[in-house]
Amino acid sequence: MNEASIPLPIPPGDWLGMIGGGQLGRMYCHAAQSLGYKVAVLDPDAQSPAGAVADLHIRAAYDDPVGLRQLAERCKAITTEFENVPAQSLETLASVSLVRPGAHSVAIVQDRIREKAFIESTGVPVAPYAAIHAQQDIDAVPEDLFPGILKAARLGYDGKGQARVNTREEARQALQAFGGVACVLEALLPLASELSVVMARAADGQAVFYPSARNEHRDGILAVSIVDAQLADQAIAIQAANAALAIAEGLRYVGVMCVEFFVLQDGRLIANEIAPRPHNSGHYTMNASVCSQFEQQVRVTAGMPLGDTASLCSVVMLNILGDVWFDRASGLKREPDWTAVLAVPGAKLHLYGKSEARRGRKMGHVNVLGATLAEAESAASRVALALDIPFQP
């Protein structure tokens, strides 16, 4: 489908659109409004975090023709906050408005099987894997894929739709538990660390990169991201940025994107997955970068110049899950000690306005800033103690 013809750049005061009402959409709204734009959010949830702060909340399903038409007629350019937006909806919107990123890019990333094959086609290495469509595919995979991780090809996030499998029989059981949906079976690799690169690519091909974040996951959910401002030019960071650029160019991607990588014990860099949107590991940019990932998304969507990605300081980002509302000893629900958090120098608290705290639900994050990484980590230890969450510098 041909892209809509919209004069660029779109000036402040005009309308931008967001599909999705979660916390990423909320932070996008704040960034867009700070630049003078108005934002319309399409999301079916009456209590959505983004809908609560948007200038217009269109309460409709992501494939609702009336809602999509209303969004397209109001907004000259539209973006997304999650990858599972129906690609057909993006195609429909693109006939009237600019859509960043486009349906072609998102459709590839929505399916782990297509995603893995695509990344390989760019020359960026991935973990050994096999596409699994039925039980007989598990019977045919090579033995060196065990132990491995079976991942549903679609709709999985934050560790959902994933199972660690040590044997072929465990893989069969996991596939059955997933309802027989298409999956990817990936070999487990000897990891030294995990890192991610958040980048932005404009329609003219210009690209900028944020310093890569060193990440720690717990139960499949990002827990900690660390950026040492003094190590932005490390060889592994440059290699990761180059790999992310190859992926973005191959996708003809326009927008903000994150690529997650594994660093193996032998030093090799392996691409894990692509997020076609701002990313949890890029939340540190809200306080520790000249231009945040959300302002960057606004700039790309509106056709404005890309922003400066330079670091202002070192930073530790701590995710806040709903677990911190529950006392560890008694299990009873209570309010976290925000006073203690905000008493820590360098701590910047961001809560997402969600109405109910549930275990495992992302409720906010804290960016802890420091002139040096040691200073940021020391302050982050105090924040983690106040919230009763594990953190080991």
Question: Which CATH number belongs to the domain containing residue 95 in this structure?
Answer: 3.40.50.20
Domain finish residue from 100, 120, 141 = 100
Around Cβ 267, how many Cβ atoms within 10 Å? 10
| Residue 283 annotated as part of some ligand binding site | no
In a domain, 137, yes or no: yes
DSSP 29: H
Give yes or no: residues 282 and 309 share one domain: yes
Q: Average pLDDT, stretch 314-343?
A: 96
Band of pLDDT at residue 159, cut at 50, 70 and 90: low
Asked whether the CA dihedral 253, 280, 218, 82 is positive or negative, the reply is negative
Amino acid at 174: A
pLDDT of 264-294, one tens digit each? 999 999 999 999 999 999 999 999 999 999 9
pLDDT tier at 158, thresholds 50, 70, 90 = low
Burial of 188 (0-12, 13-18, 19+ CB in 10 A): middle
Whether residues 175 and 274 share a domain: the answer is: no
**Do the domain assignments include residue 116?**
no
- On the question of pLDDT at 3 being above 80, the answer is no
The domain total for the chain is: 3
Is 112 annotated to bind a ligand? Reply is yes
Does residue 188 have a known ligand-binding role? yes
Query: Are 137 and 71 in the same domain?
Result: no
Looking at residue 155, its pLDDT comes to 77
By residue range, what is the domain housing residue 57?
A: 15-100
Residue 26: CB atoms within 10 Å: 26
Is 231 in the same domain as 333? yes
- pLDDT for residue 5: 87
158 annotated as belonging to a binding site for a ligand: yes
Is residue 225 within 8 Å of 283, Cβ to Cβ?
A: yes
pLDDT at 177: 94
242 and 269 share one domain: yes
The sign of the CA dihedral 79, 82, 83, 84 is negative
Is 272 annotated in a binding site? The answer is: yes
What does the alpha-carbon distance between residue 2 and residue 349 come to, in Å, rounded to a whole number? 42
Using an 8 Å Cβ cutoff, are 162 and 181 in contact? no
How many Å apart are CA 366 and CA 262, to the nearest integer? 24
Residue 222 labelled as part of a binding site: no
- ω before 147 within 30° of 0 (cis)? yes
Ligand-binding site membership of 365 (annotated): no
Distance CA 145, CA 187 (A): 4
- Tens digits of residue pLDDT in 5-55: 899 999 999 999 999 999 999 999 999 999 999 999 999 999 999 999 999
The pLDDT of residue 156 is 66
Tell whether omega for the bond before 211 is within 30 degrees of 0, i.e. cis: no
Whether 159 has a binding-site annotation, put simply, is yes
Residues 261 and 319 in one domain: yes
Residue 364 marked ligand-binding:
no
Query: Where does the pLDDT of residue 2 fall: very low under 50, low under 70, confident under 90, or very high at 90 and above?
Result: low
Q: Is 300 helix (H, G, I), strand (E, B) or coil?
A: helix
**Residues 183 and 196 reside in one and the same domain:** no
User: Is the overall model pTM greater than 0.85, yes or no?
Assistant: yes
**Residue 333 domain-assigned?**
yes
pLDDT digits (tens, 9 = 90+) for 58-100: 999 999 999 999 999 999 999 999 988 999 999 999 999 999 9
157 and 30 within one domain: no
Alpha helix ranges (H) inside the chain: 23-34, 49-53, 65-74, 87-94, 103-109, 112-121, 135-140, 168-177, 235-251, 285-288, 293-302, 338-342, 373-387
On the question of pLDDT at 1 being above 80, the answer is no
The terminus-to-terminus CA distance of the chain in angstroms comes to 50
pLDDT tens readout for residues 224-276: 999 999 887 789 999 999 999 999 999 999 999 999 999 999 999 999 999 99
Percentage of the residues of the chain whose pLDDT score is greater than 70: 98
Residue 173 marked as a ligand binder: no
Tell me whether residue 14 is annotated as binding. no
**Which tokens go with 139?**
């019977």
| Cβ proximity of 16 and 294 under 8 Å | no
CA–CA distances in Å: residue 390 to residues 228, 327, 381? 20, 14, 9
List pLDDT tens digits, range 196-215: 999 999 999 999 999 999 99
- Does 162 show up as a binding residue in the annotation? yes
Is 195 annotated in a binding site? The answer is no
- Among the candidates 171, 187, 203, a domain finishes at 187
Beta bridge partners of 367: 317, 348
**What does the mean pLDDT of the chain come to?**
96
217 is in an annotated binding site: yes
Average pLDDT score over residue span 127-131: 97
Residue 279 labeled ligand binder: no
Q: Of 100, 115, 148, at which residue does a domain stop?
A: 100
Whether pLDDT at 157 is above 70: no
